[in-house]
Amino acid sequence: MLPGVPGPSVAPWSLSFVGRPRWKGPAMNDRTLDLGLRTGNLLLDALDEDERVLMLADSVTRPIEVGNTLFRPGDEIGYVACPTRGTLSMLAQPNESTPVEAATVGREGAASVHSAPGSRRASQELVCQIDGEMITVGIERFAKQAQDGRLQALVYGYLEALVVQISLSAACNAVHHLNQRCARWLLQTHDRVDSDTFGLTQEYLGIMLGVQRPSVSIAQQSLQTAGCITFHRGTITITDREGLEAVACPCYEMIRAEYSRLVPLHIQR
């Protein structure tokens, strides 16, 4: 184990997403899709072409801009967000000053999909984590199409995998060393982006891990000294993927294995 600070027993801190900008609906750079092409979201692209075209009939591609809040607890959910680049984060906030990530959603899945058959009210905060793009599909269309066919099987499997991610992340935060947790989170993010380099401030990484910024700095420095990453002014580069996997706790491989088992994303042309 690399030297560093243990977690997660740290004092509460004042950072939260309260006051962060909300995504406010269609904007100048929103655009419609060419329905004949694959989207870049693995869940959507695993549908047969006819199913995918029907699903995307009134969808819109919108930017993921880091720091924006899409939903807060109690908000009515009007769409399912399917990232094609970048990531979204589901946050649990046990008090006003200590948000902690419950799950990361990237191009392998969809955010708010669990609300489609349910109450249509947000139970957690959903924020933009790493810049990119997402396809938004109306909640009614998504829920109706998920009642049968290929999408139903994919959604059921994805929801089960999401529960595994949430439960293991909670257990991981309770028992594993901060360096291990940081490596696990960076690997999960690396899996969901198209580059070895991505924007991520210490402030945001602290929120994802539920620790204070000085602890994040020590963990990052430990991983950099080990040759796994480099970081500079809000940008992280994965320089040794195998080394990072060796540092990470077993939770990373357990989560990845469950997604592979439960969400068979065989891409349809």
Structure-block tokens of residue 243: 């080394």
User: Which residues have a Cβ under 8 Å from the Cβ of 27 and sit 6 or more positions away?
Assistant: 62, 63
Amino acid identity, position 121? R
Instruction: Give the end-to-end CA distance of the chain in Å, rounded to a whole number.
Output: 44
Q: What is the reported pTM?
A: 0.80
Neighbours of 104 (CB within 10 A): 24
Query: What pLDDT shows up at residue 31?
Result: 52
Structure-block tokens of residue 84: 């094609």
Query: What pLDDT shows up at residue 216?
Result: 87
State the 10-residue block means of pLDDT for the chain, 269 residues long. 30 37 45 65 91 91 93 93 94 76 91 81 90 94 88 90 91 90 92 88 81 87 95 91 95 91 67
Is the separation of the CB atoms in 143 and 223 below 8 Å? no
For residues 36 and 133, what is the distance between their CA atoms, to the nearest angstrom?
18
* DSSP β-ladder status, 79-92 and 100-105: antiparallel
Query: What pLDDT shows up at residue 88?
Result: 95
Query: What pLDDT shows up at residue 69?
Result: 94
DSSP for 190-214?
Answer: HHHSSSSEEE--HHHHHHHHTS-HH
User: Which residues have a Cβ under 8 Å from the Cβ of 53 and sit 6 or more positions away?
Assistant: 35, 36
Query: What pLDDT shows up at residue 28?
Result: 38
DSSP-assigned letter for residue 112: S
Query: What pLDDT shows up at residue 36?
Result: 53
Structure-block tokens of residue 231: 């970081």
Is the separation of the CB atoms in 205 and 184 below 8 Å? no
Structure-block tokens of residue 163: 């529960």
Residue 61, beta-bridge partner list: 31, 135
Query: What pLDDT shows up at residue 205?
Result: 84
